[in-house]
Structure 1
């Protein structure tokens, strides 16, 4: 079913309007508890947090169930959605340990690092095209641990101001390494950083306001993906790697780098077509990693537009 550009925009903009859960005081208290007690002792509290989130956010619960049904190829159970939310909560908790440098209880294994290292050895700036899959904080932690690699994240920050504020108090450098989307000079900063040999990470599965979108197949159905990341990379004619850091349980993360395009290009007169081809190839790789680690994808909204399309069905009325 082909959707109009306006429908695609409405679907992709849902995530920007989701309310933050919890208060800064509660968040600070739990982060302090994590750092005081350590990861093993603080982790059981996550089960209560995940249960509260599951019970109190029907939009997220429905989105989780629909996504899991696609990726697991079966009906998702209540236990599946709880595991999904718990995995998300775990990656948020682990950000505290990565940011504070107290991550000895966490294990990070690298796959495909030779592709990353080859571009660094040439002194070239490049893009890391990632997603809301696992934890990008893992890669930023690797950057700090290995000679302060020049990694900046191009991201929208206004939908999680409370959490970002608390994390910035924990480590002021966390926001210094962010290029906020929506700021007038953001694209100029990206250009300058790439030209200096820097690395820009983009979570390319969500769009910003007024961004061009395209429908591509994702886990068996059309879904709107942004064209902006690919148009930006093509404008700078910079290389791109895909990069995903998957949580595998027991404090273990796997970071995967894969070559994607070197460089990303889009010929005049066919820029949208080229960007669409890149978005389609990216969605295919993202789907592969979602299938490999199905509880790691954290877009808790109506990503495919199922509720809009099936508003009259009983399933869309579930709580």
Structure 2
């Protein structure tokens, strides 16, 4: 899918933020609504709030515009508003589902686990397993479902100070299904990630957004424009021999989520540190992501102008 309809003026490249746009009291309101009225009542509230955001909060609407203008080129202004509303509703309902699983228990939702045996076979190889995914669907449901592998799992995740959006395990008050490795830590968490793979464990990395500068990224084409993506998952695979599996968790129906195993990558060993050596693997990931957004356009939640290639700060 290609597009030349995206905004042509280069925007100022501000650092992206993983922090929720909702305030603490708004989150607490939704958590209470879910607890006392249920998930469907929270859905109704999400629908109204999404409409308010799209109509009266341009700063929120603009966040999804770079992606939507490329995924749906040539849209009228009215259809563009509709696209913005749909994607806002989708992420709102995903966040409600995530909170409901923690507050009301796993019986509220069904997570379907596709190709479990294939993943188990990759784990049994004993070199660790690298799962690469994107800001699509609900990655937390994917992490919860990985309990079935009965193998310790780590996630490369940066959580900003002051973020009030609670994870599933924080609602439940128990231990997370995964260990968090912070890419803002020493050496970007590289030593910790190598240890995970050395012990034959599972490592999950978001591969559609880079942190920490341009030195470990390559530029590839996505939806008709050039984007910068990290190559660290493929560098780790080359150094350790771990297979790379591309997965996308997504909402497959009311109260249902599925885990799509999109592709298995075998990275050649000994490729070194030069990012360009890993371009073919980054491109395979992006092609798989294009296939995902072709089928589920309103479940890609990377609210950031990926196509603005000003150097990162």
CA distance 1:292–1:153, change in 2 (3 Å): same
- Offset from partner CA, 1:128-163 (integer Å, 9 cap, x none): 10000111111122133x265422210121177221
The reply to whether residue 15 of structure 1 matches residue 16 of structure 2 is yes
Residue 207 of structure 1 aligns with which residue? Answer: 210
Deviations 1:226-259 (A, max 9, x none): 2233223333332110010111331222211134
Q: Indicate yes or no: 2:244 matched with 1:240.
A: yes
**Partner residue of 2:36?**
36
Deviation readout 1:279-309 (Å, 9 max, x if unpaired) = 1111111111011100011111222129x8x
Alignment partner, residue 27 of structure 2: 27
Paired residue secondary structure (1:182): coil
For residues 43 and 70 of structure 1, the distance between their equivalents in structure 2, rounded to whole angstroms, comes to: 28
> Structure 2 residue aligned with 1:218, among 214, 217, 222?
222
Gaps of 5+ in 2: 1-9
2:130 alignment counterpart: 127
The answer to whether 1:90 aligns with 2:106 is no
Unaligned runs of 5+ in 1: 1-7, 309-319
* Bigger mean CA offset, 158-167 vs 18-27: 158-167
CA root-mean-square deviation: 2.9
CA displacement, residues 31-82 of structure 1 (integer Å, 9 cap, x when unaligned): 1321332212322111133234334543442342342232234414211110
**CA 1:165–1:130: 2 relative to 1, 3 Å:** closer
1:194/1:200 contact within 8 Å kept: yes
Instruction: Give yes or no for contact 2:129–2:203 (8 Å, CA) kept in 1.
Output: yes
1:152 corresponds to 2:164: no
Greater helix proportion: 1
Residue 101 (structure 1) shift: 6.6
Structure 1 168/19 Cα, relative in aligned 2: closer, same or farther at 3 Å?
closer
- Looking at structure 1, the residues matched to 107 and 122 of structure 2 have their Cα atoms a distance apart, in angstroms, of 28
For the residue of structure 2 that corresponds to 1:209, the secondary structure is coil
- TM-score normalized by the length of structure 2: 0.82
Question: Closer, same or farther in 2 for the Cα pair 1:77/1:249, shift >3 Å?
Answer: farther
Structure-2 separation of matches of 1:115 and 1:274: 27
1: CA distance between counterparts of 2:173 and 2:104? 9
2:256 corresponds to 1:252:
yes
1:168-317 correspondence runs (5 A): 168=170, 170-174=172-176, 177-184=179-186, 186-212=189-215, 213-263=217-267, 265-268=269-272, 271-305=274-308
Asked if the contact 2:144–2:177 (Cα under 8 Å) also holds between the matched residues in 1, the reply is no
User: What is the CA-CA distance between 1:121 and the residue it aligns to?
Assistant: 3.4
- Matched pairs, number: 295
Which sits farther off after the overlay, 274-283 or 58-67? 58-67
